[in-house]
Structure 1
Amino acid sequence: MRPKLDGILETAVYVDDMETAHSFYSDILGLKRMVAGERLFAYDAGPAQALLVFHRGHTGEDVETPGGIVPGHDTSGHSHFAFRIGSDQLEPWRAYLGEMGVEIVSEVIWPAGGTSLYFNDPDGNVLELAAAPLWPNYLS
């Protein structure tokens, strides 16, 4: 029998300029940084959820820690992830992003009735603010 998964704990993006990324994720999106290192910033993205911001090109090698080896990983190109928001927060987010000079590059109304706002971080990663219903497991 397959063991149960409890959800996604972390998601990651890779950036070229860590301080510019920090300004965006901390100052504009309001995420609290939990870890600050040379190759990784970790942000509190909600209950039991972390956004990992890796310094592109600095994470491909294995990293030895006192607790074991973290396998190397890296990516090229633009990543994507979505934040969950309430449908009553769509208009406040539209207005806020505009005030902050962050362009909404696309808005999608899904067949189930939910809405997604898409925008980019300074490195071109595609971020989404998604209001339910969207997926069969994301109804409210």
Structure 2
Amino acid sequence: MSATIEGILETALYVDDLDEAEAFYGTTLGLVKITRQSDRHIFFRCGPGVLLVFNREETVKPAPAEALPVPSHGTVGSGHACFRVAAENLDAMVQSLRAAGVSIEADFLWPNGARSIYFRDPAGNSLECAEPGLWAI
């Protein structure tokens, strides 16, 4: 039997200000917070998966001896995540983002007819909302 990747369980983004990220992802995007650990990270429920938002400065530090043995990790620069949004809800998402003062950088149809919108979080990460048909086989 061969191993098969079944999907993405979690996606990580890195920010400089967790309070700002908590307000953006929790209030503006409406994701439900699972947990927050001080100024290190916040985890949000995102459909069947999880969005991990790390303070980039804290994540590169080695974990204390009593912590779980997760290796330090992180990145420099902007990341990207795409959220699945039903086609019939994309207009409402655009309106909600604009009402929150978030600029829409792009709103277009892909060659296969699926629609995507692009915007940025306060840390500069490139975020996308796309209808599920974007990656339909």
**TM over 0.5, shorter chain:** yes
CA distance in 2, matches of 1:71, 1:60: 9
1:136 maps to what in 2? 136
Q: Aligned pairs, how many?
A: 136
2:9 maps to what in 1? 9
CA distance change for structure 1 residues 87 and 68 in 2, over 3 Å: closer, same or farther? same
Runs of 4+ in 1 over 6 A off after TM superposition: none
2:33 maps to what in 1? 33
Q: Structure 1: where are the runs of 5+ without partners?
A: none
RMSD: 1.6
So what's the TM-score if we normalise by structure 1?
Answer: 0.90
Deviation at 1:95, TM superposition (A): 1.2
CA distance in 2, matches of 1:105, 1:96: 15
2:50 maps to what in 1? 50
Q: Structure 2: where are the runs of 5+ without partners?
A: none
Indicate if the aligned counterparts of 1:114 and 1:134 stay in contact, CA closer than 8 A.
yes
1:60 maps to what in 2? 60
Deviation at 1:68, TM superposition (A): 4.2
So what's the TM-score if we normalise by structure 2?
Answer: 0.92
Structure 1 counterpart SS, 2:73? coil
CA distance in 1, matches of 2:19, 2:98: 22
Q: Does 2:63 match 1:81?
A: no
Aligned-residue identity in percent: 40
Q: Which moved more, 1:92-101 or 1:14-23?
A: 92-101
Deviation at 1:67, TM superposition (A): 7.6
Going by fraction, where is strand more abundant, 1 or 2?
Answer: 1
